Structure 1
């Protein structure tokens, strides 16, 4: 269901089912065609034929047509083959290859007045790729650029309706994804959906109407109006069948079955799900197969076949990860940055060339008219503007380089810190499967604590990531107040008490921990929580962690001491500076984003964070903050008492809010 609306883009892009004799006729004509532009058109037709035996065969014909067009210098055929290859790659969810082809079409078509239609096709394809990656603002820019391109030539009503349909689907997906959605999006979605519906009804376009019914079905389904959603998906299925759109038909089979399942009518859902999944496999459409696996897993779980559902869900997640890996997303982001940078450079070159032409014209006018002073003045103004443009571009490139470097460092930190809980969940899932197969309920029941521990670790990492994102966006505003250090330490210790017991580590509060600090309570809690988490991961079983605090006249020191392996002195400055470097064997398991966020929060609070450690002697993290005024008597009466050298009992604290 999560992929349904975005998969509509792919189904809409595919042509209807063509009869098998058409493909056979193209092959027969190709066998006798000479190596000229006619052969290029035949190869292009076979690449666009959606009912070929496999996508690999279509790609083979498209690449052969592209090679022949380049050999002949046939630029129109070359652009058409590039667009066709991009469409096949988009259908197979190979977004990186599709983006490369579409970007090449866009670059070359912009330079040719006759290629306006190919440029529009490229912008539409890039918009669909961006929508698949949930880059909705970027997709909106591409689709609107395509609409502007349509106005430069006599676009057909079908093309105009397609553009309106693209925007309607984009805005529907934007609303479903949640997050920060512009206020105009719901109104625009309804406007473009109605406009596309009117045009498709006038043309009797079954593909267009089917796609709009799919959109309305998704919207009704998300609003809980299942009967309306079922009607819309059934209408879409009927229209896709009439139009011969195999991809849209497979998607609609699965959508109807999914709605039946949500209504609890699994007996009626099963044949629809089986038919849709079989057709998606026959078409080799990974994105639709992922949707089919998800719906069929729900059916298996609802009919009491939980183990089969679990195995299918793992298969579905594996296929989804193969389609949407972080490497692919990063490669797409790099490709998009390169494309935007190249387009900016082309604009600068065009402006430079235009400026040179204007300067020559002014010099010629000056020589003819004899107004030398006026000509030099105009040339100087143009030169100043050009230098300012170049300086502005240089600053933008420098900012872009800095942003990319910071992004790469953040990726490295997040990838390292998220690896441990993800690996833990994977191991626990394997253990759970093994115990279920052996019917070992005793060991299976004991996995609950370990799952909770891994979930708490993952939640802490996500809280750190959210705090880091807020700080980078400038939305982090501290609220300074008087914070009781003893109470906060007891709360954090209680939060990690169960994890410490599970790891065989003694977590205790040092006697005499007292004082009040001037700080933002949420930020301070996040700092202490990260220090305790790092200490807990670094301390072996049988070790201990001690939380303490001392108050002086102007400052409060909070100490987190562990008996772990310690850190080499030369590594401490690197950790506190936030650099991403190779991790030594004695370093804690996670000293990345959490420690970096702690250093940032400490700087915001006007404090100081230091690490005192040596190999084999444990580590002490010392947080120094400005002291607040002493607590009033009413507050002192309610302050928690220190426990001398004893384990702190669990306080039942919930999730710690992140600043």
Structure 2
């Protein structure tokens, strides 16, 4: 048994930076070569896996070609149960790295055809991506973009996040080569986000590097330099010289544009050395051109001329009419073969469909009578069921409405019987006292009686207002008409309403509200909220205490606080403040009744105005109700943004 199988299982095919494919890691490739050379009892399958993994991880083009060929040969000779076509893809990559583009694209089309026959969609998409990349190197931009989109469509269908991100990265690079850096950034940044989401460090490095190339094209040199250096730092740890080569050449171009020729020359030489060492023909072409321009700018004309000659040589080896014609012929042959295969498949499907149609016609003729009767019966039954279902829904709806109305009526009767009786009885008693004091001409007592009349009338008016508002809201008919409402006039109105009540209990009632606070709210329901909070605060505050209404803007909202120095609320009572229960009554410091319906309206109407209620209290010290409601300007801005988005 081979003791290294775990090394092989960790490797998988992906498409990454436009200049590489697979998880390139030269250190890993070297380690696997050591394993291959030191193990003598390897099975044929182990050898295939090692050949394939070395080809996949290697950065050197010759090494990739050698071990891809070995993997393909041993798979065919030993008839191994493996998909050796993936090794075929790496063979094409090796030839592409060497600048043998016609050979590379021929191999990629061959692999694509075999993947299609095997039904391996993911591998087919990978082959399309490599075809696109090879076309890019020949400046066939439209063909390249076409095959990248074909690959992305399949990867998205397969829900392969890493390959979608990798091919998006390639597509962005293609747009860059097509002189469309703005269009290039969109798929590149999407790819970086996807790589970071799955924690794929090498993919993040390529996305950073490619975005650096695009920022350089947009003449954002500082941003480009930072992105490229960040990418190189990651790739150096992974020994990925292929990508590092291009990024070094691009950094040289940035320093060249700044006329920092010494630094530009250093980076260009590093890129040229890596390209020469690994036989990267495309980069040898680019680096020699860059070195020629830098030497010329530095007045070193002999060196500039030598590198210019090298550039022309590398360029001509990559681009020539015969190579372009052969690649076009290969693409045409492949597409014609695909169309012929589609025609043959459609012909077979047509014959099968004709046979199936004949069988279906016979079956339909034999069963038509039975089907007709069944359809007729089912239609009648369905109509009856639909009618019954509608009637049932209508009855359920009416029952629920009646139950809600009955519940509301019971609540109202209970409230009226318990709470309206008190103020009315007070008026009866006060009436008798008035008659008595008039007969005795006791004017002092009559003056005191007037305070009781004010208190009873205020209590009765508040109760009736709350009952009306609550009953309407329970039926869902309370009018909600949000508008721009200035808070200061409302608080002034509240102070006017409760001025007499506060004076009677010797309570200091005041407000501190900025004049510029404008809310987006329904003014009627907001007035009800403030009236109930102020009424409760006065009701549960002893003589000599204070009640204060304050407000302040907090971001997109306003915080309105009603603070009293009253008797406070226990922790248990705080937990159930928003629950309306007719049995839960409290009494004010002067014997006033507390029904709880006012607080119910506070919570309901605040929610209706898209706000919230918070309560803090300490027994014996006081209570603060904090109402948070949206400011008018913020609400209007949010509404405009929603309209733009829609």
Q: With the length of structure 1 as denominator, give the TM-score of the two structures.
A: 0.50
Q: 1:91 aligns with which of 97, 117, 129?
A: 97
| Equivalent of 1:167 in 146, 166, 171 | 171
1:550 counterpart residue number: none
* Counterpart-to-counterpart distance in 1, 2:74 and 2:39: 13
Partner residue in 2 for 1:158: 162
Q: Structure 2: any 5+ residue segments left out of the alignment? A: 1-15, 367-646
* Distance (whole Å) between structure 1 residues aligned to residue 29 and residue 56 of structure 2: 13
Q: What secondary structure is seen at the aligned counterpart in 2 of 1:269? A: helix
User: What is the aligned partner in structure 1 of residue 131 from structure 2?
Assistant: 126
Q: CA contact under 8 A between 1:16 and 1:246: conserved in structure 2?
A: no
1:241 aligns with 2:236: yes
Q: Provide the residue aligned with 1:116 in structure 2.
A: 121
Report what 2:25 is aligned to: 16
Cα distance, 1:356 vs structure 2: 0.9
Q: Note closer, same or farther for the CA distance 1:67–1:357 as it changes in structure 2 (3 Å cut).
A: same
**Aligned with residue 49 of structure 2, among 28, 41, 47:** 41
Determine whether 1:63 maps to 2:58.
Answer: no
Partner SS state of residue 110, structure 1: helix
Partner of 2:225: 230
Superposition RMSD in Å? 2.6
Deviation string 1:347-387 (CA, Å, 9 cap, x unpaired) is 1011111001111222334456669xxxxxxxxxxxxxxxx
In structure 2, what is the Cα distance between the partners aligned to 1:312 and 1:190? 32
- Say whether the 8 Å CA contact 1:117–1:150 is kept in structure 2: yes
Which has the bigger relative contact order, CA under 8 A and spacing at least 6? Answer: 1
Give the conservation status (yes or no) of the 8 Å contact 1:89–1:95.
yes
- Equivalences for 1:223-302 in 2 at 5 Å? 223-302=218-297
Equivalent residues in 2 for 1:413-562, closer than 5 Å: none
Match of 1:145 in 2: 150
How has the CA–CA distance of structure 1 residues 19 and 356 changed in structure 2, closer, same or farther, with 3 Å as cutoff? closer
1:31: how far off? 4.4
Asked whether the 8 Å contact 2:292–2:307 carries over to 1, the reply is: yes
CA distance in 2, matches of 1:364, 1:204: 55
Q: CA, structure 1 residues 286+336, in 2 after alignment: closer, same or farther (shift >3 Å)? A: same
Deviations along 1:595-621, one digit per CA (max 9) or x if unpaired, are xxxxxxxxxxxxxxxxxxxxxxxxxxx
DSSP-derived class of the 2:178 partner? helix
- 1:186 to partner: Cα distance: 4.4
Q: C-alpha displacement at 1:334, in angstroms?
A: 0.5
Q: 2:36 aligns with which of 12, 17, 27?
A: 27
**Structure 2 CA distance for aligned equivalents of residues 13 and 43 of structure 1:** 14
> Alpha-carbon deviations, 1:284-329, whole Å to 9, x = none?
1111111111111112212212133123201211111011111111
Partners of 1:186 and 1:150 lie apart in 2 by 24
d(CA) in 2 for partners of 1:360, 1:98 = 44
Partner of 2:107: 101
More displaced 10-residue stretch of structure 1: 11-20 or 248-257 = 11-20
Gaps of 5+ in 1: 1-6, 177-184, 372-659
- 3-state SS in 2 of match to 1:264: coil
The answer to whether the 8 A contact 1:213-1:232 is kept is yes
Please show how residues 205-216 of structure 1 align to structure 2 within 5 Å.
205-216=200-211
State the SS of the aligned residue for 2:18: helix
Tell me the SS of whatever aligns to 1:175.
Answer: coil
Deviation of residue 151 (structure 1)?
3.8
1:11 is displaced (CA, Å) by 4.2
Give secondary structure in 2 for the equivalent of 1:82.
helix
How high is the TM-score relative to the length of structure 2?
0.51
Can you list the C-alpha shifts for 1:470-511, whole angstroms capped at 9, x where unaligned? xxxxxxxxxxxxxxxxxxxxxxxxxxxxxxxxxxxxxxxxxx
Task: Report the 3-state secondary structure (helix = DSSP H, G, I; strand = E; otherwise coil) of the residue aligned with 1:33.
Answer: coil
Aligned-partner SS, 1:304? coil
Secondary structure of the 2:117 match is coil
Closer/same/farther in 2, CA of residues 8 and 109 from structure 1, 3 Å limit? closer
Q: Distance in 1 between matches of 2:208 and 2:347?
A: 50
Q: Quickly say closer, same or farther: Cα 1:214–1:86, change in 2 above 3 A.
A: same
Q: CA deviation at 1:172?
A: 2.5
Per-residue CA shift, 1:229-275, capped at 9, x if unaligned?
32232222222213321111122222212211221111222222222
Question: 2: distance between equivalents of 1:41 and 1:112?
Answer: 20
Cα distance change on mapping 1:369 and 1:253 into 2, 3 Å: closer
Q: 1:57 to 1:222 in 2, by over 3 A?
A: closer
What's the CA shift string for 1:575-611, capped at 9, x where partnerless? Answer: xxxxxxxxxxxxxxxxxxxxxxxxxxxxxxxxxxxxx
Partner of 2:401: none
The aligned counterpart of 1:475 is none
Whether the 8 Å CA contact 1:30–1:42 is kept in 2: the answer is: no
Is the 1:92–1:285 Cα contact (8 Å) retained in structure 2?
A: yes
Question: Using a 3 Å threshold, how does the CA distance of structure 1 residues 75 and 122 change in structure 2: closer, same or farther?
Answer: farther
1:381-404 Cα distance to aligned partner (Å, 9 max, x none): xxxxxxxxxxxxxxxxxxxxxxxx
Match status 1:342 vs 2:342: no
Quote the residue 1:481 is aligned against: none
Equivalent-residue separation in structure 1 for 2:173 and 2:233 (angstroms): 20
Task: After TM superposition, list the pairs within 5 Å mapping 1:375-394 onto structure 2.
Answer: none
> CA shift at 1:92, angstroms?
2.1
Maintained 8 Å contact 2:29/2:58: no
Q: Distance in 1 between matches of 2:176 and 2:34?
A: 41
Post-superposition CA distance 1:497-551 (Å, at most 9, x none): xxxxxxxxxxxxxxxxxxxxxxxxxxxxxxxxxxxxxxxxxxxxxxxxxxxxxxx
Aligned match of 1:359? 354
Q: Deviations over 1:131-179 (max 9, x none)?
A: 2223233222212222222244342x32222122122222222234xxx
Q: 1:100 to 1:222 in 2, by over 3 A?
A: same
Structure 2 distance, partners of 1:30, 1:357, is 54
> How far apart are the structure 2 equivalents of 1:141 and 1:218?
22
Task: Describe the superposition over 1:206-237 as per-residue Cα deviations: whole angstroms up to 9, x where unpaired.
Answer: 33233223333333323333333322322222
The correspondence for 1:310, drawn from 290, 305, 309, is 305
Report the counterpart of residue 321 of structure 2 in structure 1: 326
- Stretch moving more, 257-266 or 302-311: 302-311
**What is the CA distance between 1:29 and its match in structure 2?**
6.0
